[in-house]
């Protein structure tokens, strides 16, 4: 069977992911080379957010002129004034959800306990915001201090950098906030008179303490098991026809105390049928004693005997497919962490000689240490059509070979692009000899 890589689909998916990542970068609010909303449109492709480290603010500076690529978030971590406060100083209400741009050349100053913003013409945006600890990213550090380290180490959380919404301040156009109506003070409560002190009671004469009683010497504790008599029960599994044991692990001994009731369970043996119940309740008696389960040979094939034509893989036989999957995943993880070697596994069902499903088995297949069959660097300077780049055999089922072919097409996709070739995956073989997966060159581009 042959499979080809869908180059058009894969390249379209890669371009879609790149456009999504670029859109995510541009969604952060930042400073670009335009005026506020409604001004000249700017291509988003040319805007790149500046990192906090790239913003040049000295230790004793009290102002900063915004540059292209600056964001309120980055400036907030450099001068210890949260984003909400900086936005309010620029006349922006973040809570309204409005879109906005900040003009390059806008000056932010934070002297005398007030943060203000002036535009490129030197006109103040508003009267500014009076600074308190609530306007800081890190409350126990002064305004103007670089707090990037606190943000990186987690001392200052994202919510601290963002801050809480600040009420819009007075604008330069003369509009003012409506002052809230003062509350009427409540009348003072007249203090109550102190209560008259009570006369203390006469102290009572202390009683003479009684003579302490002499403690009783405790008796030596006895081991509770000393009074119990131990005994042994021997359990045998016997062929009643010949009188011989039916397995090599015979007999079985059960230890306990005299008088204790124990339940012993019969076993299942291939080719034998149990006579009587599958368990016995036995009261243990003094000294060694015996109980026996009896079996007779069966002329019918055992439904639990695996079909000899179905091989049992190295992973062993499991009752359910889920148990096999869990065990195989653990083995592969352990190998990857301890040796760096990657594996995949094949699985198949196991039936009895009568056709009954009795379990699942599987086999590990090594993919090598880290490369999954793909060379780290190209070792071919020229390629030819039908040239074999990769081949791996030993797959026991068509499903396993088909899955591996899909996996190798994905892993070799970038390699084919880098070397101007197209690739195709194929597999063939049989259940008796196994299946082989091959990656080969289908076309060479000059």
Find the mean pLDDT for residues 434-441. Answer: 88
Task: Give the pLDDT of residue 33.
Answer: 43
In CATH terms, the fold of domain 228-297 is Ubiquitin-like (UB roll) (3.10.20)
Per the prediction, the chain carries an average pLDDT of 76
The larger pLDDT score, comparing residue 9 to residue 44, is at 9
Q: Tens of pLDDT along 412-423?
A: 888 888 889 999
> Residue 180 pLDDT more than 60?
no
State residue 169's pLDDT score.
58
**Rounded average pLDDT over 259-271:** 81
Tens digits of residue pLDDT in 292-311 = 888 887 765 555 666 666 77
Confidence class of residue 375 from pLDDT cuts 50, 70 and 90? very low
pLDDT for residue 222: 55
3-state secondary structure the chain: CEEECCHHHHHHHHHHHHHHHHHHHHCCCCEECCCCCCCCCCCHHHCCCCCHHHCCCCCCCCEEECCCCCCHHHHHHHHCCCHHHHHHHCCCCHHHCCCCCEECCCEEECCCCEEEEECCCCCECECCEECCHHHCCCCCCCCCCCCHHHHHHCCCCHHHHHCCCCCCCCECCCCCCCCCCCCCCCCCCCCCCCCCCCCCCCCCCCCCCCCCCCCCCCCCCCCHHHHCCEEEEEEEEEECCCCCECCCCCCEEEEEECCCEEEEECCCCCCEEEECCCEEEEECCCCCEEEEEEEEECCCCCCCCECCCCCCCCCCCECCHHHHHHHHHHHHHHHHHHHCCEEEEEEEEEEECCCCEEEEEEEEEEEECCCCCCCCCCCCCCCCCCCEEEEEEEECCHHHHHHHHHHHHHHCHHHHHHCCEEEEEEEEEECCCEEEEEEEEEEECC
pLDDT above 90 for 379? no
> What's the confidence (pLDDT) of residue 192?
58
- The domain segmentation of the chain, as residue ranges, is 30-162, 228-297, 388-444
| pLDDT, tens digit, 9 for 90 and up, residues 181-231 | 444 555 555 655 656 666 666 766 766 766 766 766 666 655 555 557 888
- Band (37; pLDDT cuts 50, 70, 90): very low
């Amino acid at each position: 069977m042959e499979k080809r890589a869908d180059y058009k689909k894969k390249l379209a998916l890669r371009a879609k992911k790149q456009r999504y990542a670029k859109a995510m970068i541009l969604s952060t609010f930042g400073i670009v080379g335009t005026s506020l909303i409604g001004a000249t449109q700017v291509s988003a492709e040319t805007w790149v957010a500046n990192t906090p480290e790239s913003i040049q603010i000295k230790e004793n500076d009290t102002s900063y002129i915004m540059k292209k690529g600056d964001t309120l978030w980055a400036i907030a971590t450099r001068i210890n004034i949260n984003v909400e406060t900086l936005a309010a100083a620029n006349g922006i209400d973040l809570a309204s959800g409005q879109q906005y741009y900040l003009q390059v050349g806008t000056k932010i100053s934070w002297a005398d306990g007030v943060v203000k913003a002036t535009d490129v013409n030197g006109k103040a945006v508003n009267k500014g915001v009076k600074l308190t600890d609530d306007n800081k990213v890190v409350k126990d550090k002064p305004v103007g201090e670089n707090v990037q380290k606190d943000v990186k180490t987690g001392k200052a959380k994202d919510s601290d950098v963002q801050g809480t919404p600040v009420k819009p301040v007075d604008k330069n156009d003369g509009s003012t906030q409506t002052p809230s109506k003062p509350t009427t003070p409540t009348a003072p409560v007249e203090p109550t008179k102190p209560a008259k002190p009570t006369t203390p009671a006469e102290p009572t004469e202390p009683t003479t303490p009684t003579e302490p009683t002499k403690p009783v010497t405790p008796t030596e504790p006895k081991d509770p098991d000393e009074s119990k008599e131990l005994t042994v029960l021997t359990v045998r599994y016997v062929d009643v026809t010949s009188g011989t044991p039916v397995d090599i692990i015979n007999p079985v001994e059960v230890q306990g105390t005299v008088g204790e009731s124990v339940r012993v369970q019969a076993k299942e043996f291939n080719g034998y049928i149990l006579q009587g119940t599958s368990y016995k309740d036995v009261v243990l008696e003094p000294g060694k004693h015996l109980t026996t389960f009896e079996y007779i040979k069966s002329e019918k094939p055992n439904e639990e005997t695996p079909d000899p034509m179905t091989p049992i893989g190295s992973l062993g036989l499991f009752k359910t497919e889920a148990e096999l999957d869990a065990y195989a995943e653990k083995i592969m993880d352990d190998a990857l962490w301890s040796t760096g070697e990657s594996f995949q596994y094949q699985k198949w069902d196991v039936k009895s000689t009568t056709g009954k499903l009795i379990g699942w088995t599987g086999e590990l297949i090594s993919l090598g240490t880290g490369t999954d069959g793909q060379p780290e660097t190209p070792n071919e300077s020229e390629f030819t059509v039908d040239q074999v780049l990769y081949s791996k055999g030993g797959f026991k089922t068509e499903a396993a070979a088909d899955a591996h072919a899909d996996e190798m097409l994905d892993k070799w996709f970038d390699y084919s692009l880098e070397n101007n070739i197209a690739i195709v995956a194929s597999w063939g073989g049989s259940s008796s000899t196994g299946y082989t997966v091959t990656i080969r060159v289908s076309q060479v581009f000059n």
